[in-house]
Amino acid sequence: MPMRRLPAHRGRGARCGRPREEGSRAMKAFDYLRADTVAAAGAEATQADTRLLAGGTTLLDLIKLNVERPARVVDITRIAGLDGIAVSSNAIRIGALAKMSKVADHADIKAAAPALSESLWRAASAQLRNMASIGGNLMQRTRCMYFRDPGAYPNCNKRTPGSGCAALNGVNRNHAVLGTSEACIAIYPGDFAVALVAFDAKVIVQGATERSIPVDEFFLLPGQTPHLETRLAPAEMIVGVEVPRSAVLQRSHYLKVRDRASYEFAAASAAVGIEMEPDGKTIREVRIAVGGIATKPWRLRAVEAALKGKTLDEATLRAAAAATADGAKSSGHNAFKIDLAPKVVARALMTVGGIA
């Protein structure tokens, strides 16, 4: 089984190279391995406390913060054939190791799937987009400050199951209002997955065999087990994503509203697409998903159903978008998201619909 084991690497703390002192938990030593095949990476991933390394833009942060304390890190960046981008007449296939920047700038994806491209180039900084992989982007973990600071906040059910959720009664402005539970209100932070959910994409994973999982089913609601975030089995890894091509995807848009103009996570976002009837006035098909307000990328099927067959005008779009936050639950500081999200959805729909 192709695998190269390098000497153990000892991590160092996040501050000036010094070990972190919080709770006397300096970053621990870990084995660093390189996998040359998906099978080798999967076999190693079955061992306890193992993490896969692609771009490292999330994992390395979490190791520095002592949120992740792996015994071994498996570098998968040398696995051949996982960085391709293929756009056919029926589908778009993107390899798990393709860089975010490469996908965002791909001419065929810009033409066939504007929302996919926009969701990527609106995310993070140029430097991070040049490093981060598509598979890693899907697997990124929440930016909840309580999750990311174990020294100050020991109570986090995502990090330590059964310990509680400090965010419930804490500063929770950036937390979820949809898909929450008493165990967790942390937001899924990504943009690309929101666009994938809107357009019926599938995540291709490989273990003993290859299988595909609809993106909407790939991410799990927190329930009472918020530490379980996806449907990946221990020996599986993401090898790609596949998006069916359609007229509604070709006329699509990704809108991201945030506290500052760039390099910030969404306060609310929307991936939308519209296909019109031949009369040019009636909505034949529509796709809508939102981010920045839920514990997972959130598809708005009820809003879609309310718009099909309706006339494309501002009043119709705003009326349907009002249901965006149906069932939402505020935890205090995040109540503004319930008012903001319908406005973001309506604005995204008006943009793609050509309504000023």
Which pLDDT belongs to residue 1?
41
Secondary structure (DSSP) of 35-76: ESSHHHHHHHHTSTTEEEESS-TTHHHHHHTTS---SEEEE-
Give the chain's count of helices (H) and strands (E): 13, 14
How far is residue 94 from each of residues 11, 126, 191, 242, measured CA to CA in Å?
Answer: 32, 20, 16, 6
**The two three-digit tokens of residue 132, written as one number:** 């981060």
Predicted TM-score (pTM) above 0.85: yes
**The two three-digit tokens of residue 323, written as one number:** 């249901």
Please, which residues bridge with residue 213 across strands?
Answer: 203
Which pLDDT belongs to residue 25?
59
Task: Average pLDDT across each block of 10 residues of the chain; the chain has 356 residues. List them in order.
Answer: 43 34 63 94 90 92 93 95 97 97 97 97 87 95 96 96 96 97 97 98 95 97 97 93 98 93 86 97 98 98 98 97 97 96 98 91
Which pLDDT belongs to residue 189?
94
Q: Residue 280: how many CB atoms within 10 A of its CB?
A: 7
Query: Quick one: 120 exposed, middle or buried, by C-beta within 10 A (0-12, 13-18, 19+)?
Result: buried
Instruction: Tell me which amino acid residue 290 is.
Output: V
**The two three-digit tokens of residue 72, written as one number:** 């071994």
How far is residue 246 from each of residues 94, 95, 132, 243, 342, measured CA to CA in Å?
Answer: 16, 20, 27, 9, 25
